[in-house]
Structure 1
C-alpha cells in the first residue's frame, strides 16, 4: 500500500511538473504574443503618423497654391478690360496725331477737324461698348432726381421741368453691375 502511495505521489509530482512545464511555455507564448501585438500596434501608429504628416503637408501645399492662385487672379483681374480698352487708346492717339498734322497743314483744317470729330465720336462709342461689356454702364439722367444715383450740385428755376427733375448734367455717373461707381452730378429744378 505504501508503494501505491508512493507511486501516486510520484505520479502527482510528475503531473505537476508536466503541468508547470506546459504552463511555462504558454506564459512565454503570451509574452511573445503581447510583444508581437505591441510591435504591430507600434508599426500601425508609425504608419498613421506618417500618413498624417503627408496629409498635413499636402493640405499646406494646397493652401499655399490656392493663396498664390488667388493673389495672381487679383493681380491680373483687369487684364480683359485693359485689352478691350486698347483700341480706344489707339484711336485717341490717331486723333491726336491728326490734330498735330492739321497744325502744319492749315489748308485742310476743316476736313481734318470733321475727321477728328468723327474719330472721337467713334472712339467714345467703342469705349462705352467696352465698358458695357464688363458691366460698367452710364447712369440715366433723364427724368426725376434719384439720390441713389445722382448728386444734386445746383437747384435752378426751370419752367420746362417739374420740381425735382434733372435740368442739366455736369458730370456723367456710372454703375458697375448694379453698384454705383460714381454718381451723376446734376442740377435739378426747384
Structure 2
C-alpha cells in the first residue's frame, strides 16, 4: 500500500511540473546562459592570471640566472685579481731598481754592482710577468688617458701633437686591468 502511495505522489509531482514546465525551462535556460557567461568570463580571467603568473615566473627565473652569472663573474674576478695588492706594493721596488740601474749606468767602477742589480731586476720582472704583470707601452704611442698619466707637455717638431715623447715612470697592467698608468710627457 505504501508503494502505491509513493507512486501516486510521484505522478502528481510530474503532472504539477508538467504544467509549470514551459516557464520553468525558460527560467532555467536563462539562468544557465547567465551562468555560462559568468563561467566564460571567470575562465578568461583565470587564463589571463595564468599567463601573468607564467610571465612573472619566467622573469624571476631570468633574474635568478642573471644574479648567479653576476656572482660567478665577481667571484672569478676576485680570484683573478687577488694578487693586485701584492703587485702594487712591489711596483716601487721595480721603480727603485730602474733608478739604480740608470744611476749605475753612468759609473764605470760600479760595473759589478750594476750587473747584480740588473740580474735581480730582470728576475723580479720575470716573476711578476709570469704572474700576469706587463708594462704599458708609452714612448711613441698616441696619448691614451686610460693607460697614460700626462704630467708635462713639451713642444716637439719631431712628433705630432698628443704623442708620448718621454716616459717618466713605468706603467703596469695586471692581466687586462691597468693598475698604474705610465707617467709621461706628451707633445703639443
TM-score using structure 1 length = 0.42
Task: Say which one has the larger Rg.
Answer: 1
